[in-house]
Structure 1
């Protein structure tokens, strides 16, 4: 059967909402594409194309019904295909509405709480075509919140995750009439089959030992077994929490963060050779070479006071930063840093900037959870396409 390939750049379309009137042609194009996607989904479900005869036929076509969908380009009406037995269900509404609804809800809550700007109010009117009321917000959140919460609390005991990545980022939230910073905790992992998965999300007051312990305990309560290796930055509270919650698990200090910490302590002038030797250490293929290159660096520059602080950092964090060398060579490039999680954080930040200040903690959890769900589904889709 024919495969449809298309990209909906919703950020570009949203920009057109903010800066100009919505072009009817754009809406029509999106409607045509999504209608065609749903038609293909029904064909795939039935296992036959229109007017085709086949013994593999699962059911019969039964016309269409209209359903509205709110996207960043505004409200559109789609023709949803039906089947006679009523068991066919399209993925379009779940796939494209969830993250956008989370964004809409956050904006609506800003308006209701009186913290919106004129532009936000205009965007809300364009997005929703509805009067902004608490009942309207409630009707949206009642549908979306259980989906996000269900995903965030799903069991983790169905498979083993040998490599766990954890990190925190900060957002701004309005609380008791004040704007405060809150920490967003995110955990991802690599499975035994070397596939990536987003495991958990939490929003807490700050990044400290107690908060990290709560987050790791939450993952364990959902069935997460102690991983072989946890990869993170060198936050003291996080290190302590890992030792307490995952007894016997090794800790890998993020290679990228570690080198950055060393370079920040080097003088800007006359440090080219030292920087090159630091890079050479972590580009080595064997753990023996890593140790040899490190000893050569210390031997050559250890008595130079200009490099004292940088080399002290190297000595102190060296062993924690080369733990990845104890694992199979193929997996090493993927577990020596938190780069994959950093990219995920950037995707969250890209959407979070639209809001800037969340109206409440639940709004932050809802939007970030929906973004993570969308990101995970894109990973699954990419993996599935590669298999075929």
Structure 2
């Protein structure tokens, strides 16, 4: 009993400590792991030497960066044959899988490869050069390629795809240029969202969008009912060519921004936004259409350019009204893409200028892969709600489109509701101005 007490006291005295006397738990864990791994390698090497009819022949030193610090490993050598602990480390790697995962996650979170070395050193893993960090981050490529190249079966349908692009600075052909990251997010017939495609292109043009959309079609993204995007000329032309028979919804948020942008003053821009905001929130199709017309008429009195945009965009801005009302909130704007683009922007600011298109694809792909995994935990629509779209399409196929005009009473009621919501918007704007 006394011997056990003495041994415990000696062990406590030999524990690594900080300057203030507290036990350094990380260093203690590193020492214990280092001791256990070396002893296990000795035991396994001895058994291997006995089986091969040879003997041991010293050690070769090897370091291994881990999350608890740098391990000083002593790998046994044999006189005949070879021994290598492949289950402990890779032959050409000095970083364990846990540290690899940590570095990859840092990169996904927007930490530049130049800063990863300092973070790894703070974790106790020793120096990790930016070149080594870059090689580690290349492990993301396989995951990104698998997600971007997956094929969808003929039984899978995506009624609602959202398309958009965001820009980041990237070095291309010897100079830095603004480069477009184009993405496609779609909802399937079960109400789940997926990243169905992304790519890096020179510019957001028809020539860039067309092969991208054709690639989606070839990989199995059929059954499109409504495509949601902004009004970029090249994109809309490519959508019309590839997704024939599908409706196109012009993003209501982008439409409002376009109208505000043509206002000659900030106050007029705010007034335009005040008028349009309640229009798209109305829950009745007749009210929405009546309010849209009245908002355009009111905007014409102080901002004719905005009214002109609204007149030209009416059919595309209100395309979502032809679908079930329970879907309107998701379909009238491109919010799902806006959130994803903000995340790409936030993380790309740390890098500032990507050294190559491949590095930009790697980061954007990692972000999209994270989003894709998150979306599988919750549905965009319930399966019953998505079924409403297919039922509506089948009914229109049998009965044709409802071309009957609303009655005079319905138009009067809708007009009164439109007047009330626009009047409330005007009162609220005047109150803010005061």
d(CA) in 2 for partners of 1:221, 1:210: 17
1:296 offset after TM fit, Å?
A: 3.0
Contact 1:174-1:358 within 8 A present in 2 as well:
yes
Q: Give me the whole-angstrom Cα distance separating, in 1, the residues matched to 2:27 and 2:211.
A: 45
Partner of 1:312: 308
**SS in structure 2 opposite 1:256?**
helix
Contact kept? 2:170, 2:179, Cα under 8 Å: yes
Taking a change above 3 Å as real, the CA distance of residues 153 and 377 of structure 1, as seen in their structure-2 partners, is same
The answer for unaligned runs of 5 or more in structure 1 is: 1-23, 30-67, 83-91, 109-115
Q: 1:25 to 1:253 in 2, by over 3 A?
A: farther
Say whether 1:185 aligns with 2:190.
no
Say if 2:225 and 2:246, in contact at 8 Å, map to a contact too. Answer: yes
Report the CA distance shift for 1:104/1:317 in structure 2 as closer, same or farther (over 3 A).
closer
Note closer, same or farther for the CA distance 1:283–1:131 as it changes in structure 2 (3 Å cut): closer
1:287/1:122 Cα in 2 relative to 1: closer, same or farther (>3 Å)?
A: same
- Asked if 1:321 corresponds to 2:317, the answer is yes
Matched, 1:254 2:251: yes
1:284 paired to 2:282: yes
Confirm or deny: 8 A CA contact 1:106 1:363 kept in the other structure.
Answer: no
The equivalent residue for 2:145 is 149
Distance 1:301 1:253 in 2: 19
Instruction: Supply the distance in 2 between the matched residues of 1:104 and 1:27 (Cα, whole angstroms).
Output: 27
> Residue 283 of structure 1: CA displacement?
2.4
Q: Which of 105, 108, 113 in structure 2 is aligned with 1:100?
A: 105
- How far, CA to CA, are the matches of 1:69 and 1:381 in structure 2? 34
Q: CA deviation at 1:355?
A: 1.3
How does 1:31-46 map onto structure 2 within 5 Å? Answer: none
Instruction: Give the Cα separation in 1 of the matches to 2:137 and 2:297.
Output: 64
Contact 2:259–2:269, Cα closer than 8 Å, also in 1 = no
> Please, what TM-score do these two structures have when normalized by structure 2?
0.59
- 1:25-75 C-alpha deviation (Å, 9 max, x unpaired): 89999xxxxxxxxxxxxxxxxxxxxxxxxxxxxxxxxxxxxxx8978xx97
* Per-residue Cα deviation, 1:268-321 (whole angstroms, up to 9, x for no partner): 44787765443333222222222222333455564x3x3211110110111101
Alpha-carbon distance in 2 for matches of 1:347, 1:308: 35
Query: Alpha-carbon deviations, 1:330-352, whole Å to 9, x = none?
Result: 11101110111111111222222
Number of matched residues? 296
In structure 2, C-alpha distance between the alignment counterparts of 1:360 and 1:255, rounded to whole Å: 34
Over 3 Å counting, the alpha-carbon distance change for 1:242 and 1:287 in structure 2 is same
Q: 1:164 to 1:136 in 2, by over 3 A?
A: closer
Residues 168 and 75 (structure 1), Cα distance of their counterparts in 2 relative to 1, 3 Å cut: farther
TM-score, normalised relative to structure 1: 0.65
Cα distance 1:122–1:298, how it changes in 2: closer, same or farther (>3 A)?
Answer: closer
What is the root-mean-square deviation in Å for CA atoms of aligned residues?
A: 3.8
Q: 1:120 to 1:99 in 2, by over 3 A?
A: closer
Q: Report how far residue 248 of structure 1 moved.
A: 1.0
| d(CA) in 1 for partners of 2:158, 2:27 | 43
Equivalences for residues 1-388 of structure 1 within 5 A: 99-100=104-105, 102=107, 107-108=112-113, 122=118, 129-130=126-127, 132=129, 137-138=134-135, 141=138, 143-157=139-153, 159-266=156-263, 267-269=265-267, 275-299=273-297, 302=300, 304=301, 306-381=302-377
Distance in structure 2 (CA, Å) of the matches to 1:196 and 1:95: 29
Q: Structure 2: give runs of 5+ residues left out of the alignment.
A: 1-23, 30-63, 72-86, 88-96, 383-434
**Do 1:99 and 1:374's aligned partners in 2 also have CA atoms closer than 8 Å?**
no
Taking a change above 3 Å as real, the CA distance of residues 241 and 103 of structure 1, as seen in their structure-2 partners, is: same
